[in-house]
Amino acid sequence: MKCRHCSSELKHIFLDLGFAPPSNAYLTKDDLTKPEKYYPLKVMVCDKCWLVQTEDYAQADELFDSEYAYFSSTSTGWLKHAKEYAEKMTIELGLSEKSLVIEVASNDGYLLKNFVEKKIPCLGIEPTASTAKAAEALGIPVLQEFFGKKLGERLSQEGRQADLIAGNNVYAHVPDINDFTLGLKAALKSTGTITLEFPHLMRLLEFNQFDTVYHEHFSYLSLCAVEQIFKIAGLRVWDVEELSTHGGSLRIYGCHANDARETQQSVSLLLKEESRRGLKQLSTYLRFQPRADKIKNDLLTFLIEQKQNGKKVVAYGAAAKGNTVLNYAGVKPDLLPFVFDAAKAKQGKFMPGSHIPILSPEQLILTEPDYVLILPWNIAKEVMQQNSFLEDSGAHFVTLVPNLTIL
């Protein structure tokens, strides 16, 4: 396999999680009697440009089909994050009724609805039918297709270049990161701004976030890798913010390479920090596998011990990261009988691979659990607040990352 950015030969394995179904391929009852697709889930690191990337197997159109069930609006914390971003960008960029905001991977309209309320013209680009339909119901125009150089050039030819292009948690999801970046350049006005948010590889390494690895994530991104990808495409990262979302993310600010804005000190400072933490040293990546294995082994030990002690453990959050860890550990309903999730699109379905049934949170109290394993640890605080009544009955919450912790 060649590196998706620089085409160098990939020789080094960062993480091997065996075989797993796509993490968002939730199953219906009828699906349980049919064969299930599994793909190798192996992550490589390029020792030339330091792009960390999944091994080539799954095709994007197989991962993001019409049944893809991730709806951004399910999380109240994420809705607040999106609203604050819209306020900030509207003021800083002076956006008005004469501007255009494009969001790539606009999902169910969780972000663009804030610009619609301000009467700022916007356009969503979202290949997944179920979420695109939800956004259109909010009055957001949506192009239901994948984004790349070809679409960026078409938008430019149609006179639809953007003052702001936003991409939240999409950059890691694209199989051809160079083509996607060239699309950003083509669709951007000469003085326009790009913002991309993505989980920061530095935090994945720091906090053992191996469960954020799944087929839908083609890339695991550092600032040093992204800066290089932008540079080759004729773009420039001129500012960067560190965010707490998704266990530690970056929001990068991009512009055309010849834009008059100066590159902020935040960029050079973070590049130095990444270098200090070994993100340009192969040994850093080769040491990660045993740390993932420890979380897997600790989970299995915990679940088996609780079953032997007659205790009931259930899970909260049918998240992709939960599917990664459950499938790597080989957990089935005998050890974890239920997963509860607020997303109506997932309720009544089953987790891919493990086949654990997904129920509505309203049913959680009826199961009288001793432990609730919060799979999306990044929203653990929110989940605990919403289900604080469980603690009154003596139940405990549990998270797995950076290590198994009974809260």
- Per-residue pLDDT tens over the stretch 151-195: 999 999 999 999 999 999 999 999 999 999 999 999 999 999 999
Using the structure block, give the residue that is written with the tokens 């609006």: 73
Q: What's the order of all strands across the beta sheet hosting 235-243?
A: 142-143, 122-125, 101-104, 162-168, 188-199, 249-256, 235-243
Please choose, from the candidates 64, 27, 37, the residue with its C-alpha nearest in 3D space to the C-alpha of residue 352.
27
According to DSSP, residue 120 is labeled -
Are 325 and 213 a contacting pair, CB within 8 Å?
A: no
**What's at 2, amino acid-wise?**
K
Angle between helices 265-276 and 223-232 (to 10 degrees): 130
Are 240 and 253 a contacting pair, CB within 8 Å?
A: yes
What pLDDT is stored for residue 245 in this prediction? 85
Are 82 and 124 a contacting pair, CB within 8 Å?
A: no
Are 382 and 75 a contacting pair, CB within 8 Å?
A: yes
Using the structure block, give the residue that is written with the tokens 């914390």: 77
143: helix, strand or coil: strand
Q: Which portions of the chain are predicted below pLDDT 70? A: 57-70, 74
State the Cα angle at 288 between 287 and 291, rounded to 5°.
110
Are 221 and 230 a contacting pair, CB within 8 Å?
A: no
Are 11 and 47 a contacting pair, CB within 8 Å?
A: yes
Instruction: Write phi, then psi, for 216 (nearest 5 degrees).
Output: -70, -20
**Pairwise CA distance, residues 155 & 217, whole Å:** 26
Sign of CA dihedral 281, 282, 283, 289: positive
Are 144 and 126 a contacting pair, CB within 8 Å?
A: yes
Please choose, from the candidates 150, 128, 142, the residue with its C-alpha nearest in 3D space to the C-alpha of residue 62.
128
Over its C-alpha atoms, the chain yields an Rg (Å, rounded) of 21
3-class DSSP string for 299-367: HHHHHHHHHHCCCCEEEECCCHHHHHHHHHHCCCCCCCCCEECCCCCCCCCECCCCCCEEECHHHHHHH
Instruction: Write phi, then psi, for 221 (nearest 5 degrees).
Output: -110, 135
Are 135 and 112 a contacting pair, CB within 8 Å?
A: yes
Please choose, from the candidates 145, 115, 114, the residue with its C-alpha nearest in 3D space to the C-alpha of residue 127.
145
**Pairwise CA distance, residues 356 & 30, whole Å:** 14
The structural domains of the chain, ordered by start, are 72-286 (3.40.50.150), 290-406 (3.40.50.720)
